[in-house]
Chain A
């Protein structure tokens, strides 16, 4: 029983820590151009994450805005704040990932 619960903890810890590819791992990438933030959400093989929820947080972890990806996995928005932003993609089945967009990139892309 003990071994089993240890195994369970190991699995949970591994899942929490792993930033690397699980079979249905989702990814989000973002860049800034002309005052707009463009996000792209995709699976490793390149197929888009359709209808995924995008959440945008500032450096204090305040939720700035949220949206939904289109058929191509895209979601765009005007720069909400010049700050270090964390962009989170939430797909179905609890698949989740994030991308850090640095303040310097937001400044450069204004």
Chain B
């Protein structure tokens, strides 16, 4: 089965590369081992933090993030020093790339919003830096409280749909904030995480526009998207920062992304 998947993933990547080339969407990811922790589940979560092309399964090198933590009961806990570097790649990538992982023990009921602010990533193909402020929410022990609170990042998506316990086909609605204010008509890119645990077969997009879905927010920065498959879905609202960073002595623009991940499950 592994081999079939590997072959498939090479096919996916080749097909996508042939069809696409320049506009591959980058996504910061945080994937927890569980998104709803019940009494009988293990209380220790494993979290993986990556910078990837979710549909094409391609990894990019990720240096240690600038911030990583969790908000529970409106209190922030810094978890940056718990991160361990590890390496991974898709079946068709030759070399392995760094990503980050940690274990976190759930001790109390309630919602846990994990957030990461990566170190700016230089993307020569786009002549800019990329910073994806990424979040994911894990619910614990039946207390559904906290998921709709902003973390207070430079830019972020605040869910308006409770971000766990979602069925395949559900609509996910969120609001895009930049410095705490809604972003009218923000553009939101959406991708399926092809390496989602339990994904029965790799998705092979028939043409480039299928890889990244695009929706625009309304005047209040509110967007919606219905998720057609079980697994992890990433939402990335992209804006240009009003600050610059230097690359080889020259000032370059910075793309700041507000990214949110949710998990869906088939009804059966």
A interface, CB within 8 angstroms of B: 19, 21, 25, 27, 29, 31, 40, 42, 44-46, 97, 99-100
Contacts and interface: CB of A to CB of B under 8 A. Distances in A.
A47 to B, nearest CB: 10
Interface string B125-148: 000000000000000011111000
B144 A100 contact: no
A21 B109 contact: no
Given A42-B109, A99-B39, A100-B39, A27 B141 contact: yes
B39 A44 contact: no
A19 B109 contact: no
Interface in B66-99: none
B38 A44 contact: no
A44 B108 contact: no
28 contacts: A19-B38, A19-B39, A21-B144, A21-B165, A25-B142, A27-B109, A27-B141, A27-B142, A27-B143, A29-B108, A29-B109, A29-B141, A31-B107, A31-B108, A40-B109, A42-B109, A42-B142, A42-B143, A44-B142, A44-B143, A44-B144, A45-B144, A45-B145, A46-B143, A46-B144, A46-B145, A97-B142, A100-B39
Interface residues of B, number: 12
A34 to B, nearest CB: 16
Contacts of B165: 21
A45 B139 CA distance: 12
Contacts of A31: 107-108
Contacts of A29: 108-109, 141-143
A40 B109 CA distance: 10
Interface in B185-210: none
Contacts of A25: 142
